[in-house]
Structure 1
Amino acid sequence: MMIERLRGIGSHLLLAGTAVLCAFPIYWLFATSLRRPSDVMSLSPVPWPLSVANYADAAHKVDVAGLIANTFLVALLAAAAQLLIALLASYAFAMYTFPLQRLLYLAFVGTWLVPFQVTMLPNYVLLNRLGLIDTLIGVVLPTLCSALAVLLLRQHMAAFPKELVAAAKIDGRSSWSILWTVVVPNLRPALAALAILLFINAWNEYFWPAVVLRRSNGVLQLGLRSFMGTEGDDWGPMMALASLACLPVLMLYLLLQRHIVNAFVRSGLK
């Protein structure tokens, strides 16, 4: 009994230490942003006296509200489109039987293994011909489908009780009705977990927006470049803008953490 208790204490201490190591960079980010401009390079773990001068400086140099709004719009549209397409595709692959089903599924998921740098040039040429370069739509359009989202969601669809679907068909419901009234309500934890992963991935994207948005800093990640120069980086405003970029993601996780935990628990039970 004593050995098991010591093991439990050791496991909790290990988890606590890992959590501290993971959270410390985030703490240092906010701590640096709240220092006075003259103390930005200080190694003191506690930022004192507190100052919002870095936030004011960042707001003066860039349109913080506009960058946040644009980034949120791009991330929301990309995540919503990817989730909808993944939901429809995974439902078809899991619930229906059709010719070349396995081959088509492997080909669809196989696109996930293709590096984005390979498809970047064709996407850029297409957007240029459509006149969508340097627009937010041009950032979103090539990211509307996520093979990884289909792969993850299909696993949950495949484990869904086929008896419920058969009973709904006997009741005369259409496939569209079955999807939204039977399947989706029972997959809310998985959908919430996938939604937040897609949103965070779209929110943190830097490379593709940097290619498309040539003449403007339309998203937060590109706005950070405004504080980088050949004479040195302006760390105070940069950390302030970076901390503002973290807040929406943290709030989203706090709102959906119960669904995310439930999704992982259910996946483990399967």
Structure 2
Amino acid sequence: MTTETTNTPLHHSRRFGPGGWETGLGHALMILASLICVFPIYWMIVTSLRPENAIFSTRLWPDAASLDNYAYALKAVPITQMLVNTFIVSIAVTVIQIFTGILAAYGFSRWKFRGSAILFAAVALTWLVPLQVVMIPNYLLVARMGMIDTLGALILPHFASAFAIMLLAQSMRSFPTEVIEAAHMDGANHAHILWQVIVPNLRGTIASLAILIFITTWNEYFWPLLLTRSPENSVIQIGLQMFITSEGTQWGPLMAASTMASLPILLVYLVLQRQVIASFMKSGLR
């Protein structure tokens, strides 16, 4: 009697692990998305290096790179002064909004009084009001104060930010109350608790918020366009418009000026990548 043994082939189910083709496809998509995001910046820089007779060339790199567009842009428009003005306005608005946001957020998060919820809701609702709605009233106020065509006029209407107040208030409400009560028992007043206890522990949130405010202010266009008259008191975003005239657009100098205007923001992003990403994540509801 013979016994026949049949060998059944084993079928191994293919499971795609972390090293499977899905990972490769995901990386390929991320690389493609990165190229799509970076290519306009690269093309701006390349165009700024092209001579005038090759400004519309489709080559990825100019045959004869030149800095003539940068020299012309710096000569035709006070780019340096505009960059300084933009930096001053951006830093001032950032510092002021952080300072007022911290004070207001501490009041809303720690002091409960009659109507506090209504007042906080009113502040939050101002965040939903478009800039175009308050632009004319703010302009009339600034004009009556005699501040037209000054850097102060670009800073004054931005003394407080509803978004900064909301974000900081949310962070302070989640701060451990035990720490604050312990500080109170040690005899600390509200100023000491705010600046010596709470603020140092919210450095990450404050840094992320400061980066977001700085970038937003740096890219502001409509408000400076409404208030500034002379190029010496304008910001860089207004300077870029000067290369677009009724006779045509000076693409080479415009791209050169755009590159110089973008460098500070690019440097901020390269140095503070994690904080920049965190700031946009925290402002996701925006």
Of residues 73, 85, 97 in structure 1, which corresponds to 2:112?
A: 97
Q: Which amino acid aligns with 2:172?
A: M
Aligned partner of 1:223 in structure 2 is 239
**Structure-to-structure mapping, 1:1-270, within 5 angstroms:** 1-5=15-19, 6-216=21-231, 218-260=234-276
- In the TM superposition, residue 147 of structure 1 has moved relative to its aligned partner by 0.8
**Are the counterparts in 1 of residues 207 and 275 from structure 2 also a CA contact under 8 Å?**
yes
User: How far off is 1:14 after superposition?
Assistant: 2.0
Give unmatched runs, 5+ long, in structure 1: none
Give the TM-score, by structure 1 length.
Answer: 0.92
Cα distance in 2, alignment partners of residues 125 and 189 from structure 1: 38
Which structure carries more helix by proportion?
Answer: 1
Q: 1:236 to 1:161 in 2, by over 3 A?
A: same
The whole-number CA distance in structure 2 between the counterparts of 1:211 and 1:106 is 30
Greater Rg over alpha carbons, structure = 2
How far 1:203 moved relative to its partner? 0.4
Q: Which amino acid letter does the alignment assign opposite residue 2 of structure 1?
A: F
* Same amino acid, percent of matched pairs: 43
Segments of 5+ residues of structure 2 without an aligned counterpart are 1-14
Deviates more, 1:193-202 or 1:22-31: 22-31
Q: What is the distance in 1 between the residues matched to 2:111 and 2:128? A: 25
Q: Where has structure 1 moved over 4 Å in runs of 4 or more? A: 260-268
The CA distance in 2 between the partners of 1:257 and 1:59, in whole Å, is 30
Q: Which deviations, in whole Å up to 9, do the C-alpha atoms of 1:40-92 show, x marking residues without a partner?
A: 21111223322111100101101121011001111111111111111111122
Q: Do the aligned partners of 2:220 and 2:237 also contact (CA within 8 Å) in 1?
A: yes
1:202 alignment partner, SS class: helix
2:265 partner letter = V
Secondary structure, in 3 states, of the residue corresponding to 1:35? coil
Measure, in 1, the Cα distance between the counterparts of 2:22 and 2:102. 42
Q: 1: distance between equivalents of 2:189 and 2:174?
A: 21
The question of whether the paired residues in 1 share the 8 Å contact of 2:212 and 2:279 is answered with: no
Q: How many pairs does the alignment contain?
A: 268
Distance 1:172 1:261 in 2: 39
Quote how far apart the aligned CAs of 1:23 are.
Answer: 1.3
